[in-house]
Amino acid sequence: ACVRSNSNRAAISHLHRQLYGRLYPVLLVNTDGSTVRLRYSEPKRILMMPLDSSTLPEAERKARLRRHFPSKPKAKEEETFEGIDLDTYKKFWKK
């Protein structure tokens, strides 16, 4: 099997690399909203630091948990055909 290792290979799909040979400028966003420019090993635009939920007030922590894990949808009750008059739809039936 012949593998073409030239510049056209990357144009067809993504680069097949585990490690990148240089460092890329990235914007790091801290939990308090401050930003820092640093050099990162992968080409990304923004990195966000995870928020520590133990430092949040109780109300905000519960609101975040509700947003991340919404409640399950309620089961709808099934429709019954008891209240429908079938004679009104008789004209649509085939004979």
**Domain limits, the chain:** 19-68
Q: How confident is the model at residue 59 (pLDDT cuts 50, 70, 90)?
A: very high
What's the predicted TM-score (pTM) here?
Answer: 0.41
Higher pLDDT, 19 or 40: 40
Q: Model confidence over 64-84: pLDDT tens digits? A: 888 888 888 888 888 777 778
Residue 88 Cα distances to 25, 79, 84, angstroms: 71, 18, 9
Say how many C-beta atoms besides its own lie within 10 A of residue 32's C-beta. 7
